[in-house]
Amino acid sequence: MSIKLSDVAREAGVSTATVSRVINNLSGYSDATREKVETTIRNLGYSPNVLARGLAGGKTHTIGVLLPSLSSRYSSQLIHGIETRAHSCGYSVIVCNTDRNGERTMEYLRILGEKRVDGVLFASEWLKDEYGEYMLEMQIPVVLIATFSSRFPFHSVRVDDRKAAYTATQYLANKGHKRISFISGSPEDPIAGRPRIEGYTGALEQHGLSFDPSLMAYGDFHFQSGIDAMEQLWSRNTGLTAVFASSDEMALGALTFLHSQNIDIPGEISVVGYDDTQDALMAVPALTTLHQPISEMGERAVELLFSKAKAENIIMPHRVVERKSVRVL
């Protein structure tokens, strides 16, 4: 029977993350813990998969990418960045659609393990313990994109979602808007939901504006949910003058609803998106949006995948890109 990393962790009385840190010579444990783990590895005869993979024939020159949606412009731009950098390094990319709720994540992780990919890029999804444990067992490099983990020793690359949402809301407040609506992801979403809500409410507070729950609506970052959320907001007669949406797709949905009601943009309502995808350029009017360097994040993630440095949390820059969908009050 083959010995797994989890067997070593159980026998040594430590977490699998600690075993992985010892094997990869990372920090975060005492000398006594290192000695205990190394002794357990010798006693059990554990051989990390990286060695087994080398003996079995070396690298496959493939990278696995896990994303919860492949239909959005965001995903397209991210994959473009990943493939551009990967191909320049002589690697092919296997893209896996894990579905919005991550229903197929474990299935695809097993498939990528069977295909002996040389690394995994895990994007835009909360890293559940079972995913992290399994990727530690794979004993290959892992980089998180637009998500993060304080538990597992993986590189990550993302924007600071709280600060980015703060910046977008502050931009509208500085334009004189006091009734600013927010179309958000779920407040239960620890990646792009709750942090962006905190950024929005923080900017309101900083500018002396009261938080009004009736100015909040929720969506799933996709186009139709933007339409539905904007319809809810408009029906409440809250006197809103601006809408900040937590994705360009939802912002386009908001624009679509407002156009259907013959509402002038930005004459009556200003709209700001988040992402700065190609959709923002093609919107009517062209969408002012919070830019995050999506393609560059993909490229940087590939570079981190083969970095020998200790696990890094890379925060990418963000900024507001002004176009034609916001007016000054």
Which tens digits make up the pLDDT trace of 187-224? 999 999 999 999 999 999 999 999 999 999 999 999 99
Same domain flag for 283 and 170: yes
Token match 């890029």: residue?
A: 121
Q: What is the pLDDT of residue 195?
A: 97
Confidence category of residue 282, pLDDT binned at 50, 70, 90: very high
Kindly state whether residue 323 falls inside one of the protein's structural domains: no
Q: What is the pLDDT of residue 298?
A: 96
163-177, 205-219, 296-310: which has the minimum mean pLDDT? 296-310
Q: What is the pLDDT of residue 16?
A: 84
Average pLDDT over residues 163-174: 98
Amino acid (1-letter code) at residue 265: I
Q: What is the pTM of this model?
A: 0.81
**CATH number of the domain where residue 207 is located:** 3.40.50.2300
- 36-51 pLDDT, tens digit per residue, is 988 888 888 886 654 3
The number of folded domains in the chain is: 3
- 49-103 pLDDT, tens digit per residue, is 543 444 344 688 899 999 988 878 999 999 999 999 999 988 999 999 988 666 6
Q: What is the pLDDT of residue 54?
A: 40
Same domain flag for 129 and 110: yes
290 torsion bin: left (phi>0), alpha (psi -120 to 50), beta (else)? beta
**The pLDDT of residue 268 is above 80:** yes
State the pairing for strand pair 313-316/288-291: unpaired
Are the C-beta atoms of residues 104 and 67 closer than 8 Å to each other?
no
Rounded distance between C-alpha atoms, residue 179 and residue 166, angstroms:
15
State the pairing for strand pair 319-321/288-291: antiparallel
Q: Which residue range is the domain that position 91 belongs to?
A: 62-159+295-315
As a whole number, the mean pLDDT across the chain is 91
Are the C-beta atoms of residues 311 and 26 closer than 8 Å to each other?
yes
Same domain flag for 155 and 302: yes
139 torsion bin: left (phi>0), alpha (psi -120 to 50), beta (else)? left
